[in-house]
Amino acid sequence: MREKKLIHKATDPFGLIISAIIIICWFISLYLLLTWELNYFNTGMYLAILLQTHLYTGLFITAHDAMHSSVSKNRKFNNLTGWITSILFAFNFYDRLLVKHHEHHKFVATEKDPDYHESGKLWLWYWSFIKRYVTLKQLILVTITLQLLRLVFPLENLVIYWVLPSILSTFQLFYFGTYIPHKKGHEHNNKHKSTTLKKNHLWAFVSCYFFGYHYEHHDTPGVPWWRLWKTK
């Protein structure tokens, strides 16, 4: 009953509103940073990189919610949001991500799970994770876009505020949303082969939009990120 109630709430208009806020914040932040004069001795520059990384992660988390139909009960709006946020996240393609993510839920912490690596070793696992999700088409599109954007914005700003945060975000998503929750998947004595963060909502949001509450996500996959803390 509780899960059904949470899923019902997930389909209210707030899903689209929150998704729009993340997309708009990402665009505004990126534009301002691309026009900001670089100063490597300014602490604000490094904080800005972290902020943009967090917003990139927000794009992917929004696409992830769309994969679970948690953005909108209107299928067209839900999938459109998923496509937009996937493309903005370094030209990922929503349909491809959708298949792989549902394989993860269906075969969690097994050899058929595209997000899992049986070695349990951080960097081997991360490399495997990257190889499964980064395609040649993405790299070509990023390269072309970078060359076009450098006609308008300084190349150095583009590398630091557009390219670097997207790379850091992949590690943030991997570390807090895959590695930590599933690194001993075969040893977890529960049906989802997942662990979860201790209850600390502030850290859970900052680290990965509450997806450190990973057992809870697998147990109630229809709950959007911004309500996930309520399942803890």
Closest CA to 91 of 140, 164, 130: 140
CA 160/CA 53 separation, integer angstroms: 11
Count of beta carbons in the 10 Å neighbourhood of residue 16: 17
Contacts of 62 (CB under 8 A, 6+ apart): 18, 19, 22, 23, 71, 81, 82, 85, 225
Whether residue 188 contacts residue 195, with contact meaning beta carbons closer than 8 Å, is answered with: yes
> Which of helix, strand or coil describes residue 166?
helix
pLDDT for the residue 186? 54
Six-digit token string for 18: 């929150």
What CA–CA distances, in Å, run from 55 to 95, 146, 150, 156, 205? 22, 19, 22, 20, 12
Q: What is the DSSP letter of 112?
A: T
Global model pTM greater than 0.85: yes
The pLDDT value recorded for residue 155 is 97
**pLDDT tens per residue across all 232 residues of the chain:** 444 445 444 456 899 999 999 999 999 999 999 999 999 999 999 999 999 999 999 999 999 999 999 999 999 999 999 999 999 999 999 999 999 999 999 999 888 999 999 888 999 999 999 999 999 999 999 999 999 999 999 999 999 999 999 999 999 999 999 999 998 755 677 888 899 999 999 999 999 999 999 999 999 999 999 999 999 8
Amino acid letter, residue 33: L
pLDDT of residue 191: 87
User: CA-based Rg of the chain, rounded to a whole angstrom?
Assistant: 18
